[in-house]
Structure 1
Amino acid sequence: MRICIIGGGLTGLTAAYHLGRDHEVDLYEKRRCLGGCVSSYEIGDYRIEEFYHHCFAGDSRLFSLMESLRIADRLEWLKGTSGYYADGILYPLNSPVEILRYPLLSFTDKIRLALLTMRAGKMDSTSLDGITARDFVVREIGERAYRSFFEPLLASKFGDRRDEISAAWLVSRIAIRSNRGLSGERLGYLKGGFFTLIDALSDEVGRHCVIRLQDPATSLSREPDGWRVNGQRYDAVISTIPPHTVPGGVLSHLPRIPYQGAACMLLSLDHDVTSGIYWLNMKDPAPYGAVVAHTNFVPLERYGEHLVYLASYFQDTLPPRKDQAMLDDFCQRFHVQPGQIKWHRMAVDQFAGPLYTTGFRERVLPYQEKGLFLAGMFSGPNYPERSMEGAVCAGEEVASLLTREEGA
């Protein structure tokens, strides 16, 4: 069977990996590299992700893929510390003592938050799909905790649409981030970065499939005996790109899934700016919502320079001069002289992830729609939050369904 896969991110690569040995597969990718949001920069003698990444203890399908690619021995478990930047002060929030010292939550609010964190993993998040994160937090912890702690986090990620976000998303985030010890969170990373995963997957796919880089799918049409993509005939097509961007109007009948963009700046510095903290959330207004100090998570000596991400999200279009606004604020806020920044890169993805608004569960797409196979951030495994685990699951499941449906 001749199969077309549109999109060379982790979902598309996983689907190609499972289909390529038994079928004739063409993989179309608009960029000049594979990996999608898991793509990496090549900086000197090392690779570093364009967008910060780590994995979690429950990512079983991701780990199975690593095993089959013979790279599981590169997986390591590291400590990720976190903090909150509020009123111009950096507060570490890892040990019980640090949390108790945090002045912007009352003792009662801290107890309620701790109890919610303990319960989150046992909650049925799908039952919270119709409740806003705001209403849920106010009900469980209180209005004051929402205003001083949760609302700034939601605002930095979702902007003016923060009041539409589902409690299902929030609870899933709390649950997945609750694998903590007394001094930080246990997170997974691959030696060599997640480039190690994409590189191994790309090599294996390239042995059995045709990879078409810098070749976006610009035309798609249904024919009596199959499909035609960019003038080429196929028996089946898997699309992993945002549904509203699929060419040919094949999915125009579907309600549009709301997406948001991400702008992620990576900087090289000659010193640490977050006092050893890996993940620093911003309560104070800033043109970025988090400062992610990669080399406070992965050992500094692997890179020879301090690496810091500035994470920002946007709706519709990227604001003009966003990169300069991020740089200027960062330098002023963290007392960094421009000459202390060795280099910086900016990665922008207009469709970095869905907006998990209330009722999103009803928008989750099936793996097949009008004969077209679909898998991606909009699929079931990525509800109520996208992840590398969800990307792998979606790729595996759509490949399995295609094989069954087409009788191959």
Structure 2
Amino acid sequence: MRICIIGGGLTGLTAAYRLGKDHEVDLYEKRGCLGGCVSSYETGDYSIEEFYHHCFAGDSRLLSLMKSLRIADRLEWLKGTSGYYADGTIYPLNSPGEILRYPYLSFTDKIRLALLTIRASKMDTGPLDRITARDFVVREIGERAYRSFFEPLLASKFGDRRDEISAAWLISRIAIRSNRGLSGERLGYLGGGFFTLIDALAEQVGKNCVIRLHDPATSLSRETHGWRVNGQRYDAVISTIPPHTVPGGVLSHLPRIPYQGAACMLLSLEQDVTSGIYWLNMKDPAPYGAVVAHTNFVPFERYGEHLVYLASYFQDTLPPRKDQAMREDFCRRFHVQPGDIRWHRMAVDPLAGPLYTTGFRERVLPYQEKGLYLAGMFSGPNYPERSMDGAVCAAEEVAALLTREEGA
């Protein structure tokens, strides 16, 4: 069978990996590199992700894929610490003592938050899909806790649409981040970065499939027996790109899934600026929502420079001079001289991920729509929060369905 896969991110690569051994597969990717949101920069000395990444102990499909690719031995489990930047001060929030000393939540609020964290992994997110995160937090913990702790997090990620985000998304985030010890969170990272994963997939896919870089799918049409993509005929097509960007109007009848963009700045610095903390959320208004100090997670010695991400999200279009605003605010707030920045790069993806607004569960797409196979961040395994594990799971499930449906 001749199969076309649109999109060379983790989902597209995994689907090609699973199907390429038995079928003739062409993989179309608009960029000049593979990986999508898991793409990496090459510095000459090492690879580092364009957007920060780590994985979790519960990512069973991702970990199984690593074993299949024979790179699981390069996976390390490291400690990821977190904190909050509030009123110009860095507050670590890892040990019970640090949490108790955090001044922006009352003791009662902290107890309620701790109990919610314990319950989160056992909660059914289905009924929470139609409740806003705001209403849920106010009900469970209180208005003060929402205003001082949760609202800044939601605002930094979703901006003016924060009041539309579902409690299902919030609880899934809390649940997945609850694998904590007394001093931090247990997170996974691949030696050599997640470039190791993408490179291993690309090597295997390249043995059996045709990888078409710099080749976006610009035309797609249904024929009597199969499909035509960019003038080429295929028996089946898997699209992994946002549904509203699929060419040919094949999916124009579907309600549009709301997406948002991400702008992620990576800086190389002369010194650590987050007091040893890996993930620092911003309570104070800033042009970025989190400071992710990669070398406070993965040892500094592997890079020889301090690597810090500034994470920002946007609706519709990237604000003008966003990179300058992020860099200038960071330097002022964290007392960094411009000369202390060795280099910086900015990754921008205008369709980085869905907005998990209330009622999103009803908009999750099936793996097949009008004969077109679909898998991506809009698929069931990525609800109510996207992840690398969800990308792998969606790819493997759509590949299995295609094999069954097409009798291949």
Q: TM exceeds 0.5? A: yes
Corresponding residue SS for 1:347: strand
Structure 2 matches for 1:312-391, cutoff 5 A?
312-391=312-391
The one-letter code of the counterpart of 1:217 is: A
Q: How many residues align?
A: 408
User: 2-side partners of 1:68 and 1:158: how far apart?
Assistant: 36
Q: Which residue of 2 aligns with 1:105?
A: 105
Q: Which residue of 2 aligns with 1:293?
A: 293
User: 2-side partners of 1:175 and 1:110: how far apart?
Assistant: 17
User: 2-side partners of 1:229 and 1:136: how far apart?
Assistant: 45
1:44 Cα offset (Å):
2.1
User: 2-side partners of 1:260 and 1:5: how far apart?
Assistant: 24
User: 1-side partners of 2:19 and 2:195: how far apart?
Assistant: 22
Q: Which residue of 1 aligns with 2:192?
A: 192
Q: Which residue of 1 aligns with 2:206?
A: 206
Q: Which residue of 1 aligns with 2:151?
A: 151
Structure 2 matches for 1:172-187, cutoff 5 A?
172-187=172-187
1:123 Cα offset (Å):
0.2
The one-letter code of the counterpart of 2:21 is: R
User: 2-side partners of 1:257 and 1:43: how far apart?
Assistant: 36
What do the CA deviations read for 1:288-336 (whole angstroms, capped 9, x no partner)? 0000000000000000000000000000000000000000000000000
- The answer to whether 1:133 aligns with 2:133 is yes
What do the CA deviations read for 1:148-184 (whole angstroms, capped 9, x no partner)? 0000000000000000000000000000000000000
User: 1-side partners of 2:45 and 2:335: how far apart?
Assistant: 29
The one-letter code of the counterpart of 2:262 is: A
User: 2-side partners of 1:305 and 1:144: how far apart?
Assistant: 40
Q: Which residue of 2 aligns with 1:114?
A: 114
User: 2-side partners of 1:384 and 1:143: how far apart?
Assistant: 24
User: 1-side partners of 2:24 and 2:153: how far apart?
Assistant: 46
The one-letter code of the counterpart of 1:358 is: T
The one-letter code of the counterpart of 2:97 is: V
Corresponding residue SS for 1:353: strand
Corresponding residue SS for 1:129: helix
The one-letter code of the counterpart of 1:260 is: Q
Question: Identity across aligned pairs (percent)?
Answer: 90
Q: Which residue of 2 aligns with 1:47?
A: 47
The one-letter code of the counterpart of 1:76 is: E
What do the CA deviations read for 1:66-105 (whole angstroms, capped 9, x no partner)? 0000000000000000000011111000000000000000
Corresponding residue SS for 2:122: coil
User: 1-side partners of 2:301 and 2:30: how far apart?
Assistant: 35
Structure 2 matches for 1:213-362, cutoff 5 A?
213-362=213-362
User: 2-side partners of 1:28 and 1:365: how far apart?
Assistant: 21
What do the CA deviations read for 1:171-214 (whole angstroms, capped 9, x no partner)? 00000000000000000000000000000000000000000000
Structure 2 matches for 1:14-93, cutoff 5 A?
14-93=14-93
Unaligned segments of structure 2, at least 5 residues: none
Corresponding residue SS for 1:125: coil
Q: Which residue of 2 aligns with 1:94?
A: 94
1:397 Cα offset (Å):
0.3
User: 1-side partners of 2:383 and 2:262: how far apart?
Assistant: 19
User: 2-side partners of 1:196 and 1:95: how far apart?
Assistant: 33
Q: Which residue of 1 aligns with 2:4?
A: 4
User: 2-side partners of 1:44 and 1:266: how far apart?
Assistant: 16
1:45 Cα offset (Å):
1.3
- Considering only aligned residues, what root-mean-square deviation do their CA atoms show, in Å? 0.3
After superposing on structure 2, the runs of 4+ consecutive aligned residues of structure 1 that deviate more than 4 Å are: none
What do the CA deviations read for 1:207-261 (whole angstroms, capped 9, x no partner)? 0000000000000000001100000000000000000000000000000000000
The one-letter code of the counterpart of 1:45 is: D
User: 1-side partners of 2:98 and 2:43: how far apart?
Assistant: 36
User: 2-side partners of 1:111 and 1:170: how far apart?
Assistant: 18
Corresponding residue SS for 1:55: coil
Corresponding residue SS for 2:126: helix
Corresponding residue SS for 2:244: helix
Corresponding residue SS for 2:178: coil
User: 1-side partners of 2:217 and 2:143: how far apart?
Assistant: 48
Corresponding residue SS for 1:62: helix
